[in-house]
Amino acid sequence: MSSATSVTTAPAAAPAPPTDQWYPLRRSAEAILAPLIALCAAAAIFSIFLLFLGASPSDFIDLVWRGAFGSWFSIQNTVQRASPLLLTALCVAIPGQLGLVIIGGEAAVVLGGLAATVAALPLVNTSPVIVWAAMAVAGSAMGAFWIGISGWLRAKLNVNEVIASLVLAYIGLALFNHFVEGVLRDPASLNKPSTYGIGDQNMLDTVPWLDVHPGLPVGILACVLCWVLIYRTSAGFASRVTGGNIRAAQLQGLPVTKLIMLACAIGGGCAGLAGAIEVAAEYGRANASLNAGYGYTGILIAFLARFNPLAIMPMAILLGGLGAAGGLLQRRMDLPDATIQVLQGLIFVSILASDTLYGRFRWFQPRGAA
């Protein structure tokens, strides 16, 4: 008995020196290999599918490569599709650090785009820089507010965030339609109800020299910043502790409530910014084009990246590339445009299923210090 008490009162022994210095490397290898195996499995299943249809898988792969990365035009197309996904994936990945699953990013995108347009309209005749600043601030503030509601409900009222964010997504879409097809509608937009435009002079140009979608540098910057926030700051560490075990975090006195609201607001801000950029770079006005499913694809990309902001980048490029290749496939192989959707679905299912591989193989596990 006395020995037990002496153990608890004694100062903690210094941790044993790590005997398994290769473990971090093997852990990374596991994190890269598992999705890669899943990707190959998806490709194999899809090839069989193509053979059944009488199409050649090698032609298919060749066309996907050319359609996604083969020319400067296709790279631009890929980047254009991937850019909003970088930001909408962050909307899931950052709250994901705390163990939350936010599935309402779609509403943050459309409302962010709408808020950005509204902020831009009175400033149309000032300088474009002012317009862009106002759009960025308004868009991300709106997104932060909308996803922040889910966070607030979770933190303060213990309302489940999956259902709350889903329900709020539908409320947000209804609000968007109400404004776009009501008070904010430009009467000249007949077939596709839209708000008034922000003006051609205020459209966000492509990135100088590279000539790609302006959302790309913003998305990459956001991913890197979020990575630093999560893995190199005490708030990020506190969030990961909370995500690991919320009771332990509360016992440690971590500000769990604040962290939840903050993470949701940051994530929502990213998604709102995506909406603002889409308006400024692509459409010039808010309309139903904003509701293009970026929010839902973002959820999957965040899960594929296992909530790591740096891993979001290759995943978003992969999915954006597949989307970009769709048109070429349709023209050259006479396959329906939904072919890409089938492939994307297969990849998602297969990579998510590969989560089960983690920890199955002894070789990747830490080796005993004992």
- Contacts with another protein, residue ranges (CB under 8 A): 101, 103, 153, 157-160, 162-164, 166-168, 170-171, 174-175, 177-178, 181-182, 296-297, 299-300, 303, 336-346, 348-349, 352-353, 355-356, 358-359
Q: Report the alpha-carbon distance of residue 219 to residue 107 in Å, rounded.
A: 19
Q: Which is nearer to another protein, 75 or 87 (CB)?
A: 87
**Least separation, in Å, of the C-beta of 163 and another protein?**
5
**Least separation, in Å, of the C-beta of 343 and another protein?**
8
Q: Following DSSP, what letter does each residue of 22-52 receive, concatenated? A: THHHHHHHHHHHHHHHHHHHHHHHHHHHHHH
**Least separation, in Å, of the C-beta of 99 and another protein?**
9
Q: Which is nearer to another protein, 29 or 353 (CB)?
A: 353
Handedness of CA 152, 156, 157, 163 (dihedral sign): positive
Q: Report the alpha-carbon distance of residue 10 to residue 17 in Å, rounded.
A: 20
Measured CA to CA in angstroms, residue 189 lies from 260, 278, 366 at distances of 41, 19, 62
**Least separation, in Å, of the C-beta of 270 and another protein?**
19
**Least separation, in Å, of the C-beta of 162 and another protein?**
4
Q: Which is nearer to another protein, 154 or 213 (CB)?
A: 154
Q: Which is nearer to another protein, 140 or 297 (CB)?
A: 297
Q: Which is nearer to another protein, 48 or 174 (CB)?
A: 174
Tokens of 132: 């862009």
Measured CA to CA in angstroms, residue 47 lies from 6, 41, 339 at distances of 65, 10, 12
Q: Which is nearer to another protein, 225 or 352 (CB)?
A: 352
How far from each other are the two terminal CA atoms of the chain, in whole angstroms? 25
**Least separation, in Å, of the C-beta of 264 and another protein?**
16
H helices within 23-123, ranges in order? 23-53, 57-65, 72-96, 105-120
Q: Is 173 exposed, middle or buried (0-12, 13-18, 19+ CB in 10 A)?
A: middle
